[in-house]
Amino acid sequence: MKSFVFGFQSWVLVLARIFRSNATASAFLLNIRWTRFPDVPRGLISTL
């Protein structure tokens, strides 16, 4: 379980780094994520 959490955190950090360097890509990916996973709580998506 710890390894899963560590992997998830590193994945989020990589995504955050990409999003910071390209705001357009972040908006596009967030839109895709929201349309593909409409049942995921909005709060969880905003933390990713």
The secondary structure of 16-42 as a DSSP string is HHHHHH-HHHHHHHHHHHHHH-TTS-H
- Per-residue confidence (pLDDT) for residue 46, from 0 to 100: 62
- Per-residue confidence (pLDDT) for residue 38, from 0 to 100: 55
Q: Which positions of the chain have pLDDT values less than 50?
A: none
- Per-residue confidence (pLDDT) for residue 21, from 0 to 100: 67
Domain span at 34: 22-48
Counted domains in the chain: 1
In a domain, 12, yes or no: no
- Per-residue confidence (pLDDT) for residue 27, from 0 to 100: 74
The tokens describing 40, both together, are: 């995921």
Distance CA 48, CA 43 (A): 9
- Per-residue confidence (pLDDT) for residue 35, from 0 to 100: 58
- Per-residue confidence (pLDDT) for residue 32, from 0 to 100: 67
In a domain, 2, yes or no: no
